[in-house]
Each structure stands twice: as structure tokens, then as C-alpha cells.
A and B are shown apart, each in its own frame.
Chain A
Amino acid sequence: MSNSAAGLLVALVGNPNTGKSTLFNALTGLRQRVGNYPGVTVARKSGICDLGDGRKVELLDLPGLYSLAAASPDEQVVIDALSGNIVGARRPDAVVLVVDATNLLRNLFLASQVAELGLPVVIALNQADVAKEQGLRIDTGLLSRRLGGVPVVLTSAWQGEGILDVRRGIARALTEPAPMKRVSWPTDIAGALAEVAAAAAADTGRPITEAEAQRLLFDTNPSTAERLGWALARREKTLRVARDRVRHSGYNPMAAEPLVHYAHLRLILEGVVAEGLGKAGRSAAVDRLLLHRFLGPVLFLGIMLGFFGSVFWLAKFPMEWIQAGVDWTKSIVAPPLDAYPMLQSLLADGIIGGVGAFLVFLPQILILFLFIGILEDSGYMARAAFIMDRLFSWCGLNGKSFVPLLSGFACAIPSLLSTRTIEDPKARLATAFVVPFMSCSARFPVYALMCAAFIGPVYGPGWQSVVMIGMHCVGLLFAVPTAFVLTRLVLKVKPQPFVLELPRYQMPKSRDVLWRMWQNAAEFVSRAGTVIFAITIIVWALSYFPRDPAVAERIQAAHPTAAPEVVTAKIQAAYVEQSYMGRFGKAVQPVFDPLGFDWKITVGVLASFPAREVIVSTLGVTYSVGEGAEADSQHLRKAMQDAKWSEGPRAGTPIFSLAAVLALMVFFALCSQCGPTVATLAQETGGWRWAAGSFVYMTALAWLAGTAVYQVVSRLS
């Protein structure tokens, strides 16, 4: 981990939603990097901040939290980062505490805990614009003196106000560090803390800081003790004795910390905030409407359907342009290479096809992140979670699972990234695990092709719509029990309480929203882009090689009078049949036989691992209608309608019977044929274990459900 020239590291710490990230952006500009903390799925954002006096420091944007009690992975990361316990990362040299100026008392609780770490601090009272509007006047000089002379500055991060003061404050905190005033613990608590520190130091053989002793004494969560390597058997008795001592002095040991800190802060804040005349917030009135018992859910459905419906609608046009652009590029690049068929195919089908395969999803992803940004910044996201929590809590998820799951209908990858907003690690993991069950837009072409070719013509457009809608629900049907079993039986993590702040409503700032959209999209491109690309090239190679020229000659000789396109298509089909992919498909076809898949469908299933919709073009090749087949292609539809089993017990009957068509769609509704999703899942769950589990589980489920559908329907019809 590199540091800036001066080697100084400054961390931003604060409650969620105080404006840390906005302040971070204002202080660092475009010079930022996003990574991950080792072993956990918490994003590590850092950037370079110019202090204005010639010095540059590395600035770290830490996750938002309310307390240093290590309950969630986010909180643990902050504690570890502030204590210098993260492998490869240094302890910060100073901390900027970002505080919501409209709620000093609550925000300063965390600040007061951080003061116990003994780091130089700067206090940024952010959202000063809102405080002013509410008529709050804050005596920053008095607050600074009461806190022991630490710099206290008023900022309005999104207007860029006070940013210079923050830079100066950091510079001052670094050159003449003034420790922030700490709480004075009542004698017995101080004694208990000293006992714990001494015992832990003796047992672990390392010095224990006061802040660590506090975590050991006050937290029910054993993560600090475990990190220090203080064995349960040894610490149990010490902690019991120390906690009894606290209890006998009149404090519940689990409540002592907030009680002492809040009492301390009430004194400090005495006379700091003057309440003048100001506009009361309108949030309560807006909530009366948006959280109304009947209107609330109606408006909620309207907003969600409006937003996510328009993801499809708005993205449609750029997607078509990108598709056209990709086809155009192929048509330009391919002809000059006619003499080098291998290179031509690698470039056109492998590289350009691979880039195109993931570029087409970019519009959807951008729009999705735009909407998620608007929902979050306006304050409605928390309300959505409030409204939906009841529907999710019984299966171990919570209201915050709703938006990731809904986004999953567009694309699983951004929706996996958006599960980061769920604090509860158990609910986060379970949500991420079921997100791929949502019927993403890559499944749509598969359903569309099957329905247009086999359902519509035979059963009419009514049934076609029913099947389309039904297919979008299949995943949901399995997602809910999956989440239930996963959270109840598999994950042994303790559930987190669902305590959610409902922030005030606010008009989203377009600049912030667009910036976040851009950052998320860039992350998607760098992450999914490389994976899709690599998998596409591999699948291309498997379907291209080996390429024996004798095959082409034989087909040419057999069809001397046929039109050239027909011959080319037949040659292509023959090549795929004897390619590694074709051979593999034939070899594993028996596995898919219970679902009624012939070897061509099997090859399509296997080749569509980079992305589900690839099966449409693969079927185009294997059914000899040429490449570039699309879901609405007449030729492909006809070829598939005419396809018959050539051997075996089903010889002579159509391959695409109703049973096989339904089985194929159900298989695609449930299978895990999306490389980037698997890769993102691995990244977001912190290892390949869950990603592999998801792949195996979904594939098995898809196979079983497909088999059940085929066997039942083929007997009925």
C-alpha cells in the first residue's frame, strides 16, 4: 500500500449519511482509488488531499458507523484501521470526524469514542447549510475550547464551503496535535478497565491500549479479544470480575459506555448550540404521505415500477445503438481478413463479440446506478426499506434487500454491488446469494425466442404473455425458500438488529449522483469487463478448434449445387459439431437428456456461460442458419421448429416439444450461466467458496426443475 510523498495518512470517520464521501470528494477531487480491505468485503477508498501548505496527505474514506462497538464488518474495519491493525496499512496520523451539524449530540458520541484512541482529530460540522436553515447557531470556538482545543470547522461539503478550513485544520492537527478531551471514567470503571488491560497484556504478551481495554470490557462481541488472541478460557474470569465491579458501582457494564459518554457530551454541548427561528423540516409532512398506511404502498409501487420500468425503456435505445455499432465494427474489420479465417473469427467473434457482449449492458447499469443514487440521496431508500421490511424479515433478509433484488431484474452485477448497503453480514450474504435468481435482462432473449417460436404460434399471444410473465416469477419462487434455508440453517452468523435511521428528505444533487454513477460503472467495467472478455475468448477458442479443412471440403463436395450461404452455414455447423465444445456437448448430452435437450441445445447451454443470451447465437450456428441470429430471427425459428430427433427412442418427434421448450426456459431461469455474476459474487462475499456454492446450487436446481418440467409436461401432452 503506497503512501503519499510525505507519508501521512488521514482518515475520515463519522456516522452514516453525514457527508463523509461528499467531503472526501471535495478534498481529493479526482485523485482517488477504490480497493478492498483484505479478507472482508468492505470497500477501501483512498485519495490524495492537498493541505494547501505544500504538504499532501493520503485521505481514507472509512465506512459510516454509529459506535466503535464492533458489531458489523464495517465497524470492525474502522476500529482496525484506526488502531493500525489492518495488514499492510498504517495507523492514521490524524482523523477528521465528520459530524452532522444538525444532531451534534448523537454524532459526537462516536467522536468521543474515537478520542479514546488518542489520535489528533479535526471536527468538521458538515451540512452547515441545513443547520443554518433550521435556525441553529453553533459556537464553534466554544466547542473547540471545550474539546481541548481541537480544530472545529463548519462545512457544507456539497457546496464546497469550509473545505479550505478542513485542509487547514488537518495541517494544524498534524503539526501541533491537540488531543481531544476525553471522558473521565468513574473510579470503578477506570479500575475495571485497568484490570482488563493488565490481565490481557499479561495473557497475550503484548501491550493493550486503553481503547482496546474498553472494547474488551464493554462489547458483547468477542472480535477484539479474538484479534488480540486472548483465549476465552483466560479472559472469561477477568471480564466477569471486571464487569461485576462496574455493576456494583451502579452501572450496567453493557450500558456504561454510552451513559458516561453521553453525560460527558451533554456538559460539553451546554450552550454551544443556540436555537433561533428557522424552518422546521418538511420531512414529517412528506412522510405522512409517503409512509401512509394505504397511499404509502401504492406510491411505493408506483415509484419502483416507474424507476425500474424505465431502466428497460431508457436503456433499450442505447443498447440497440451499441449492438449496431458492434455489428458495424465486425463488418468493417472482417472482410479484409478473409484470407486469414482464424484471425478473422478471433477478432470478430472473440474479441469484438466479447467486448460487445458486455458493452450492451452498460446503459442498463448506468441507469440503474443513477436511480439507486437518486433513491439514496433523496432519503427515500430508507423509507423503501421501512415499508418492505415486513415482507423480508421472516426469511432472514431485511428491508434493505429489496432494492438489490429489484435491480436484479435488470442485471445481477450492479445489484450485487448494491448489497453493500446492507449492514447485517448475514442478510447481505443471503441477499447476494439469491440476487442471481432474479430474472435478469439477459434471460429475456432466451424466453423471447422460445415463446415466439413455440408458444405464440401454437397457443396464441395470450399464453405467450402468460409464459413470459411466469418465467420472470420462477426465480422468485425459488429465491425465497433459498434465503430462508440459508439464513436459518446454513449461516450461523448472529443476525443484526434492524435499526435504521430515516434521514431527512433532500433534493439529490445531480453532480453527486452522476459522480457516483460514474464510479460504480467504472468499477463494473474493470471487474465484469475483464471476466466477460476472458470467458468469451476461451469459449470462442473451444468452439473454433480444431478446424480440419477436410470438413469444409467434404461439405462443399456433397452440396455442389446449393447456394453459397447455405453451404457456409452448413460448414460452420459442421465445424462447431466437431470442435472441442461440440464434442464436449455431445459427451455430456446424456446428462441433459432428462430435460429433453439434444446435443445442440447442450452445446448452447455450455457455450452460454459468459452470458445467457449467447445461447441464441449458438443455436443459430448449430442449426445452420448462420451467425448473428437474434431472438426474432425467422430462419432460426423455422429451423428449430423443423428440428427432429434423428435417433434414440424419440426419433422422428420434434426436439422442441412443448415440454422441452418449457424445460429449457425453466433451466435458464434458474441456472447460473453468467461468468461475471459468479466472479462478482466471489468478490462481494470475500472468496470463491460462496460463488462456487452458488454455481453448484443453481445448476443443480436448474437441472432438477428442468427435468421435472420435461418429465411431467411430456407425459401430460
Chain B
Amino acid sequence: MTPLSQLLPGQFGKLASLNPERGVDQRLMALGLLPGMILKLIRKAPLGDPLAIEFGGQVVSLRLAEAENLIVDVSADCPIQRPRQP
């Protein structure tokens, strides 16, 4: 279990939990990011923040601080992909 903010670019994860009380998470849920969804951290912006993630066939940007409460599971049932070296 890792916060989304700590994923490496290129790494996949399965959303384990989020905080539905927060506005950001509500917005993401409306976009279809619900627990159990596989997502991928595509990249960080050149200045390190925000992040671009991919899920359900769309690319969405969100801020690092907002990604801290999104907990992802990076264990086996996600597609294997070697993270790019940062």
C-alpha cells in the first residue's frame, strides 16, 4: 500500500482507498476513479508537481498534495512494468 504520490513514473497501481469527503476525490470518482480501478502514473510535470495519471482510457492531472490521500496497491495483479529510473 503506497500513496499515489510515491509511485514512480510508469508504475501501475490498483486504487485501494480514497477519502470521499474531499473535493478532489469526489471529482476523481466522478471521472470513474473508484476503488479497484487500475491506474498508471504517467509522469510528473517538469517542476515535479502536478502528476499525470491514466485510468479508464483518460489522462488526468492532479496535484502532488492531492495524490497523497489516494492509496494504491502496487502488488502482483497489476500489469508488470519496470519503472523508469527517475
Contact = CB atoms under 8 A, between A and B. Distances in A.
Interface of A: 66-67, 69, 71, 102-103, 105-106, 109-110, 220, 252-255, 258-259, 262, 283-284, 287, 291-294, 296-297, 382, 385-387, 389-391, 393, 399, 494, 496-502
Chain B CB count within 10 A is highest, among A292, A391, A500, for A500
Q: What class of interface size applies to chain B in its complex with A?
A: 20 to 34
B19 to A, nearest CB: 9
B30 A66 contact: yes
Chain B CB count within 10 A is highest, among A253, A382, A498, for A498
Contacts of A499: 24, 27-28, 31, 60-62, 66
Nearest to A499: B27
B16 interface: no
Contacts of A293: 46
Chain A CB count within 10 A is highest, among B46, B56, B57, B59, for B46
Chain A CB count within 10 A is highest, among B30, B46, B60, B62, for B30
Contact of B52 (A252, A262, A497, A502): A502
B26 A69 contact: yes
Contact of B34 (A262, A292, A382, A498): A262
A258 B61 CA distance: 20
6 contacts: A106-B56, A293-B46, A389-B49, A389-B61, A496-B23, A498-B62
B58 A291 contact: no
B58 A386 contact: no
A316 to B, nearest CB: 33
Nearest to A66: B30
A349 to B, nearest CB: 51
Interface of B: 18, 20-24, 26-32, 34, 42-43, 45-50, 52, 56-63, 66
Given A499-B24, A499-B27, A390 B45 contact: yes
Given A220-B21, A391-B47, A498-B61, 20 more contacts: A69-B26, A105-B56, A106-B32, A106-B57, A106-B58, A109-B30, A258-B34, A284-B42, A291-B43, A291-B45, A386-B52, A386-B61, A389-B49, A389-B61, A497-B23, A498-B66, A499-B24, A499-B28, A499-B31, A499-B60
Closest 10 CB pairs of A and B: A497-B24, A254-B20, A67-B30, A390-B47, A255-B20, A258-B29, A502-B59, A500-B61, A499-B27, A66-B30
B67 to A, nearest CB: 11
A66 B26 CA distance: 11
Contacts of A71: 23, 26-27
A439 to B, nearest CB: 25
A386 B22 CA distance: 21
B81 to A, nearest CB: 14
A56 B38 CA distance: 46
B42 to A, nearest CB: 8
B31 A387 contact: no
Nearest to A100: B58
A393 B63 contact: yes
Contacts of A254: 20-21, 26
B63 A220 contact: no
A501 B34 contact: no
B46 A297 contact: yes
A393 B40 CA distance: 24
Contacts of A292: 46
Contacts of B31: 66, 106, 499, 501
Chain B CB count within 10 A is highest, among A109, A110, A498, A499, for A499
A501 B47 contact: no
A391 B63 CA distance: 12
A298 to B, nearest CB: 10
A254 B18 CA distance: 11
Contacts of B43: 287, 291
Nearest to A258: B29
B70 to A, nearest CB: 12
